[in-house]
Amino acid sequence: MNENFINLHILISHSPSCLNRDDMNMQKSAIFGGKRRVRISSQSLKSTMRHSDYYRQYLGEPSVRTKHLWDTEKNNLKDQAIKALSARFDEDLISQTIELISGKKLDSETKVENDAVAPWVMEEIAYFCTQVKNMEAEKLEPKKLQKQIEKDSRAFRQALAKGLDIALSGRMATSGLMSEIGKIDGALAVAHAITTHAVDADIDWFTAVDDLQELGSGHLDTQEFSSGVFYRYASLNLKQLQVNLGLLVSMESEETEESRAKVLDIAAHVLHMLATEVPSAKQQSFAAHNLADLALVIFSSQPVSLANAFEEPVKAGNNGGFRQPSIQKLNAYWEKTHKGYGLLERCAEFSLETIEIPEGIECKPSLPELENWVRQNGEA
């Protein structure tokens, strides 16, 4: 079987913390099953993974996400591009290229912004610089340049591949040359993580000591925080990722062993980050550096979330705690959906707990072994 989707299901228990806040400095939350759950947004999770040391070590530099194309008072895209590409292209060519692909005139005297925060990849800008340079030599019009790039879309995607996070998360583009050829359909869908159980938050009334003040405190404030077992879910479209990376021409193309092996390696890294990376918010105060308690990986023909395992909030076990009953409910709900819909899936699971798992799920003794199972297409 060559299922096109990998569904990643993670349970991770966080000690008291406030990992994701709203505009009122309160924990993000959601109502699910009629009860309040603490929430960590998908944007927070993706940003955490993208900026992690692990990402840089194994997947390269992340994209630069900004709306600041040019601003004399701020670090901006033009300055970043000149710094990264000055050995290959002159400053005027880089500026001309950014103007063309963004549709914005860079004025050295004023602040120039894009319509929205957008991800940019330096190698992608370098690719466009080369095309613009060739266009000048051949006196091509921008529209002809666009058609030329569209004909060679695979080379464009291969340049984009240096920004793997764009290939995973996708990109909206609304102006300039990017509005025509820069749109990327995301291959990775990430859900907002929610607690498997209802949560009543605590309020910390805290003070800051002023060593040079004899009485009272230098600062008084409050901070909401809580603890809980979070369900993280993501689905990776393997075929879409191959197209986004320029490994395949289109979604209709037949994948090769080599192209599939490359995205399976990326999938294993995504699994690792989803199970180990934690948002940095308020960590100096709470240090909730927790690793996943369970990771369930499923090769499937479609994306399938198991969030409804927790639509009825998990209740604490006989001896207290939500970890064990959350694991049990996740596995039980997988078994219901797997059998109820007759799903053709390959499944494997790693758990810190010694548990009885349903028939049809392979047990892996460690996260690295689960990652290797993913790399081997779930066949070992």
Beta-bridge mates of residue 5: 237, 300
Q: Kindly report the pTM of this predicted structure.
A: 0.91
Query: Own/partner pairs for 352-357, CB < 8 Å, 24+ apart?
Result: 352/293, 352/294, 353/293, 353/294, 353/323, 353/324, 353/327, 355/324, 355/327, 355/328, 355/331, 357/331
Print pLDDT tens along the chain (380 aa).
568 999 999 999 998 887 888 877 778 889 999 999 999 999 999 999 999 999 999 999 999 888 888 887 778 999 999 999 999 999 999 998 888 888 888 877 778 888 788 898 898 899 889 888 888 777 767 777 777 777 777 777 777 777 899 999 998 876 666 766 678 899 999 999 999 999 987 776 676 777 777 676 777 777 777 889 999 999 999 999 999 998 998 899 999 999 999 999 999 999 999 999 999 887 778 888 999 999 999 999 999 999 999 999 999 988 889 999 999 999 999 999 999 999 999 999 999 998 889 999 999 999 999 999 999 999 86
pLDDT at 174: 60
Residue that is written with structure tokens 């309160």 in the block? 26
Cite the DSSP H helix spans in the chain.
42-50, 53-59, 77-85, 91-102, 122-138, 142-151, 153-160, 164-169, 178-181, 238-244, 257-276, 283-286, 323-340, 367-375
pLDDT at 180: 64
Task: Say if CB 113 and CB 145 are below 8 A apart.
Answer: no
Question: Residue 116: phi, psi to the nearest 5?
Answer: -155, 165
DSSP 341-367: TT---EEEEEESS-----TTEEEESSH
Residue that is written with structure tokens 């021409």 in the block? 249
CA dihedral 239, 241, 243, 247 (to 10 degrees): -100
pLDDT at 45: 96
Nearest to 17 by CA among 209, 347, 289: 289
Residue that is written with structure tokens 């709306």 in the block? 67
Nearest to 166 by CA among 180, 182, 179: 182
What is the chain's Cα-based Rg? 24
Task: Say if CB 124 and CB 132 are below 8 A apart.
Answer: no
Structure token pair of residue 72 = 């004399």
The whole-angstrom separation of Cα 58 and Cα 49 is 12
Give the DSSP H or E segment for 228: strand 219-237
pLDDT at 2: 65
